[in-house]
């Protein structure tokens, strides 16, 4: 009896949390000619007798303070044979059988957590369905296990087991958690929010994905491309794994718009100081965050060195539990990423081919692996570089994955073509797509949008239709003339307070006419408004007020104490009635800002991490207003409801 590794704990949790989801049920299928089923069964049984982990079950219920794994002294292999010689539609029946084996899953308390089904197809050929739970072992271990079984099948002795998995658990318990915490906090220092690829894709595509289950998509570069990328990696003194990670980070940044992005990388986790660890069978891998901030002005070759250096630094701390890393990130314990990248270094087909005795012949092996993440990208480097995308249909459509795959290939080949070029110059689109866009642009008439500021557009509208209704709120309303005059009065008051170009003014008021009047007045004074939702948590509001550097706060008396508690900012209350502005000029102030000046700062409204301010210029805002009006052909008779 001994504890679980952190990775085993994670797999146990997700298996129990989504019991019918099929997470971490791995399956290998392969045709084999010339097989002796009884010798094959005996070779597997010998491997189970030799390795503790293959006789292991897991207990977590009752009064146990924490889950434990239980190694049984003896355990019989779960081995089933079928004879389907002469049966019609064999392939369809095999697929159904394999699906049923995966859906059957495992009772984690009942070892062994692997089983074999052997189906005889004709006098010479069998089809093997090997199903196991990932909680037992990683891919490297599985490859070694298959080699050992074939060695036993051919009559060779495998010798004594190289070590016990419990020795690795003991090694984990000896590690200094404080050193790990210091390292990971430094790695996570620039991460303000999680990276949610599925959210970014669905938001940009405006789609709603309702399908269930997991889909798969495969992409393979040709031999020439693979050779060129491998040679390029050698020239840059990085691994192909680093090359793929560097491109994936760029892809995540382009999709999410975040300065700092993160994904999960699966690392081998085998400590070099543990004797014989490379030959051991067990679950040694770990999934950890790769955090980076690619800058557009950075050369591709320099970017590769940054990613390589991070990977090297991580090696001493790749045993750290992911749940600890997420806690140290300071984002409320939220999952930091929704996608992982696995660089596979255990070619199962090669292991079968190399270990097979002369009388056996294996076909191409097909692997099925499913994690709890919405997207898992498995990368295989052999004669060709191939990418296997496993994605939750609940979050991604097939078209999304195909587009991702195309963009990843484009970035990889772009870095190869121009290693000294800047990251900002790398295209996601291929030459054909770019040519089509250029052709469409050339056929679109040019638009001449006046580089005005929005307050000028509203002033012009107020002059044209002063009595037209501009604002409605409950039983209150303001005409364009009234809105313009009230905003002018407040704007003159703000100018007296020193508000001018690029000066930020916070505005925290309840929804209503005062809010719109305040926003327009800030623009007329030449300043930039920073909207502060009174419903936000107090610490979030205080952070936004301090981070944005507001010089003045527009608010209402009932909100004042909550907003200013601990944050000293001059303020004006807008709910004083109209008398306090009665003596102010109602005419339009002189134009104080130009299209390049700041119009407002909008903070992200996510519920996790620190909000991040985005600066919007007058030119961007006024062009948005004009294009929206023209594109949707809105007239004075229309009303628009937005968010």
Residue 235: asked if its preceding bond is cis (omega within 30°), the reply is: no
Average pLDDT in the chain: 89
Q: Which of 370, 367, 313 is nearest to 18 (CA)?
A: 370
Query: Quick one: 427 and 553 in the same domain?
Result: no
CB atoms near residue 625 (< 10 Å): 15
Domain shared by 255 and 400, yes or no: yes
* pLDDT above 70: residue 45: yes
Q: Whole-prediction pTM value?
A: 0.73
The mean per-residue pLDDT over the stretch 25-33 comes to 94
pLDDT digits (tens, 9 = 90+) for 570-596: 888 888 876 777 667 788 999 888 888
Do 597 and 498 lie in one domain? The reply is yes
At residue 445, the pLDDT reads 59
Please indicate, yes or no, if residue 449 is contained in any of the structural domains. no
Q: How many angstroms separate the CA atoms of 142 and 145, rounded?
A: 5
Mean pLDDT of the 482-511 span: 93
Give the model confidence (pLDDT) of 325-370 as tens digits. Answer: 999 998 887 899 999 999 987 667 777 877 778 888 998 888 888 8
Contact 22, 370 (CB under 8 A): yes
Do residues 471 and 437 share a domain? no
C-alpha span between 506 and 552 (Å, rounded): 6
Total structural domains within the chain:
3
**Domain assignment of residue 394, yes or no:** yes
The stretch 100-115 carries a mean pLDDT of 94
Structure tokens at 93: 């029946």
The residue-averaged pLDDT of 199-220 equals 74
pLDDT of residue 491 exceeding 70, the answer is yes
pLDDT of 433 > 70? The answer is: yes
209-213, 390-394, 634-638, range with greatest mean pLDDT: 390-394
Q: Identify the pLDDT of residue 608.
A: 53
Indicate the Cα dihedral angle 466, 468, 473, 475, nearest 10°: 100
Same-domain status, 190 and 288: yes
How confident is the model at residue 450, as a pLDDT? 59
Distance, in Å, from the CA atom of 609 to the CA atom of 605, rounded to the nearest integer, reads 10
Question: Which of 222-231, 449-458, 606-615 has the lowest average pLDDT?
Answer: 606-615
Tokens of 82: 């079928």
- Whether 381 shows a pLDDT value over 50: the answer reads yes
**Which of 167-171, 584-588, 608-612 has the weakest average pLDDT?**
608-612
Choice between 521 and 441, residue whose per-residue pLDDT is larger: 521
pLDDT at residue 508, as a whole number: 92
| Domain containing residue 32: CATH number | 3.30.559.10
For residue 573, give the CATH number of its domain: 3.40.50.980
Instruction: Evaluate whether 195 touches 338 at the Cβ level (below 8 Å).
Output: yes
Task: Give domain status of residue 552, yes or no.
Answer: yes
CB atoms within 10 A of CB 619: 17
pLDDT value of residue 451: 60
Q: Are 508 and 534 in contact (CB under 8 A)?
A: yes
Same domain, 267 and 135: no
pLDDT at 204 over 60: no
pLDDT beyond 80 at 403: yes
Give the pLDDT of residue 448. Answer: 57
Q: At which of 441, 467, 482 does a domain end?
A: 441
What is the distance between the alpha carbons of residues 196 and 599, in angstroms, rounded to a whole number? 29
Q: Could you say which of 166, 195, 216 is where a domain stops?
A: 166
Residue 619 covered by a domain: yes
For residue 243, the number of C-alpha atoms closer than 13 Å in the C-beta half-sphere is 26
Please indicate, yes or no, if residue 640 is contained in any of the structural domains: no
Q: Are residues 107 and 52 in the same domain?
A: yes
Nearest to 259 by CA among 539, 614, 597: 614
What residues have CB less than 8 Å from 11, skipping those under 6 apart?
23, 24, 133, 134, 135, 283
- Same domain, residue pair 242 and 136: no
Residue 188 sits in the same domain as residue 135:
no
State mean pLDDT over 536-556.
89
Least confident of 157-161, 622-626, 635-639: 157-161
- Per-residue confidence (pLDDT) for residue 643, from 0 to 100: 42
Flag whether 304 is in a domain.
yes
Q: What is the pLDDT of residue 48?
A: 95
Q: Give DSSP secondary structure letters for 43-55.
A: HHHHHHHH-GGGG
Domain that holds residue 619: 454-631
Q: What does the alpha-carbon distance between residue 292 and residue 259 come to, in Å, rounded to a whole number?
A: 9
Report CA-CA distances (Å) from 597 to 192, 491, 527, 594: 27, 17, 9, 6
How confident is residue 40, by pLDDT bands cut at 50, 70 and 90? very high
**Residues 323 and 251 occupy one common structural domain:** yes
Structure tokens at 15: 């298996």
Mean pLDDT, rounded, for 319-329:
93
Q: Is pLDDT of 478 > 90?
A: yes
Q: pLDDT: is 18 or 445 the higher one?
A: 18
Give domain status of residue 500, yes or no: yes
Mean pLDDT within 415-439: 84
User: pLDDT over 70 for what percent of the chain?
Assistant: 94
Of 172, 112, 160, nearest to 136 (Cα)? 112
Percent of the chain with pLDDT over 90: 63
Give a yes or no: residue 448 inside a domain: no
Q: Is the pLDDT of residue 561 over 60?
A: yes
**Judgement on whether residues 293 and 431 belong to the same structural domain of the protein:** yes
Provide the 8-state DSSP code for 425: G
More confident site: 482 or 202: 482
Average pLDDT over residues 436-443: 72
Mean pLDDT value across residues 74-95: 94
Q: Please, what sign has the CA dihedral across residues 455, 460, 465, 467?
A: positive
> 541, 560, 549, 546: which is closest to 504 by C-alpha?
549
Q: What are phi and psi of 424, to 5 degrees?
A: -65, -20
- Quickly list DSSP for 37-96: HHHHHHHHHHHHHH-GGGGEEEE--TT-SS-EEEE-S----EEEEEE-TT-SSHHHHHHH
Locate 537 and state its tokens.
């948590």
Q: Which of 250-259, 423-432, 447-456, 580-589 has the lowest mean pLDDT?
A: 447-456
* Pair (603, 520) in one structural domain: yes
Query: Residue 115 in contact with residue 78, Cβ under 8 Å?
Result: yes
* Beta strands 504-508 and 552-555, pairing class: parallel
Average pLDDT over residues 15-42: 91
Kindly report the CATH number assigned to the domain that includes residue 191. 3.30.559.30
- Name 349's bridge partners: none
* DSSP character string of 159-220: -S-S--HHHHHHHHHTS-HHHHHHHHHHHTTT--S-B-HHHHHHHHHT------SEEEEEEE
Angle at 225 between CA 222 and CA 230, to 5 degrees: 120
pLDDT at 210: 55
For residue 511, the SS3 value is: coil
Flag the least confident range among 81-90, 350-359, 602-611.
602-611
Q: Which of 411, 441, 471 is the last residue in one of the domains?
A: 441
Q: What is the pLDDT of residue 61?
A: 87
State the pLDDT confidence band at 279, using cuts at 50, 70 and 90: confident
């Amino acid at each position: 009896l001994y504890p679980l590794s952190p990775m085993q704990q994670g797999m146990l949790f997700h298996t129990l949390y989504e019991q019918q989801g099929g997470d971490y049920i791995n399956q290998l299928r392969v045709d084999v000619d010339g097989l002796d089923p009884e010798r094959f069964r005996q070779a597997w049984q010998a491997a189970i007798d030799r390795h503790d982990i293959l006789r292991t079950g897991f207990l977590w219920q009752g009064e146990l303070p924490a889950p434990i794994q239980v190694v049984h002294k003896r355990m019989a292999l779960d081995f089933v044979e079928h004879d389907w010689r002469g049966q019609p539609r064999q392939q369809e029946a095999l697929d159904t059988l394999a699906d049923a084996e995966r859906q059957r899953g495992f009772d984690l308390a009942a070892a062994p957590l692997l089983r074999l089904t052997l189906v005889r197809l004709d006098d010479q050929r069998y089809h093997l369905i090997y199903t196991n739970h990932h909680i037992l072992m990683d891919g490297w271990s599985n490859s070694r296990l298959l080699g050992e079984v074939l060695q036993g099948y051919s009559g060779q002795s495998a010798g004594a087991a190289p070590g016990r998995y419990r020795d690795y658990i003991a090694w984990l318990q000896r590690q200094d958690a404080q050193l790990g915490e210091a390292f990971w906090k430094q790695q996570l220092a620039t991460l303000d929010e999680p990276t949610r690829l599925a959210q970014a894709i669905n938001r940009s595509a405006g789609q709603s994905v309702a399908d269930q289950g997991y889909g798969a998509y495969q992409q393979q570069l040709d031999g020439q491309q693979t050779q060129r990328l491998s040679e390029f990696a050698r020239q840059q003194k990085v691994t192909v794994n680093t090359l793929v990670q560097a491109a994936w980070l760029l892809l995540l940044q382009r999709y999410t718009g975040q300065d700092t992005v993160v994904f999960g990388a699966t690392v081998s986790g085998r400590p070099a100081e543990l004797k014989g660890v490379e030959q051991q069978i067990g679950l040694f891998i770990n999934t950890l965050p790769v955090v980076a901030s690619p800058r557009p002005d950075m050369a591709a070759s320099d970017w590769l060195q940054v990613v390589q250096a991070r990977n090297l630094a991580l090696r001493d701390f790749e045993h750290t539990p992911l749940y600890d890393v997420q806690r140290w990130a300071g984002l409320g314990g939220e999952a930091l990423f929704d996608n992982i990248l696995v660089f596979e270094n255990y070619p199962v087909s090669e292991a079968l081919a190399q270990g097979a005795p002369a009388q056996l012949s294996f076909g191409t092996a097909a692997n099925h692996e499913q994690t709890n993440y919405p997207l898992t990208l498995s990368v295989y480097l052999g004669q060709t570089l191939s990418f296997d995308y496993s994605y939750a249909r609940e979050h991604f459509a097939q078209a999304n994955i195909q587009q991702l795959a195309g963009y990843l290939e484009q970035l990889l080949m772009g870095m190869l073509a121009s290693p000294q070029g800047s990251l900002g110059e790398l295209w996601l689109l291929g030459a054909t797509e770019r040519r089509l866009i250029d052709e469409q642009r050339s056929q679109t008439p040019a638009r001449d949008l006046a580089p005005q500021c929005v307050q000028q557009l509203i002033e012009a509208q107020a002059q044209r239709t002063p009595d037209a209704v501009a604002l409605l709120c409950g039983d209150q309303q303001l005409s364009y003339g009234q809105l313009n005059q009230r905003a002018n009065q407040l704007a003159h008051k703000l100018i007296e307070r020193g508000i001018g170009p690029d000066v930020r003014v916070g505005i925290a008021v309840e929804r209503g006419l005062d809010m719109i009047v305040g926003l327009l007045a800030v623009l007329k004074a030449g300043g930039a408004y920073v909207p502060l939702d009174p419903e936000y948590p107090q610490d979030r509001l205080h952070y936004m007020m301090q981070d944005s550097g507001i010089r003045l706060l527009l608010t209402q008396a009932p909100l004042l104490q909550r907003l200013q508690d601990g944050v000293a900012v001059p303020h004006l209350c807008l709910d004083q009635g109209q008398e306090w502005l009665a003596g102010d000029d109602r005419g339009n102030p002189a134009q104080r800002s130009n299209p390049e000046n700041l119009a407002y700062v909008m903070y992200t409204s996510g519920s996790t991490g620190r909000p991040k301010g985005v600066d919007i210029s007058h030119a961007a805002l006024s062009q948005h207003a004009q294009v929206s009006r023209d594109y949707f052909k809105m007239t004075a008779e229309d009303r628009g409801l937005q968010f």
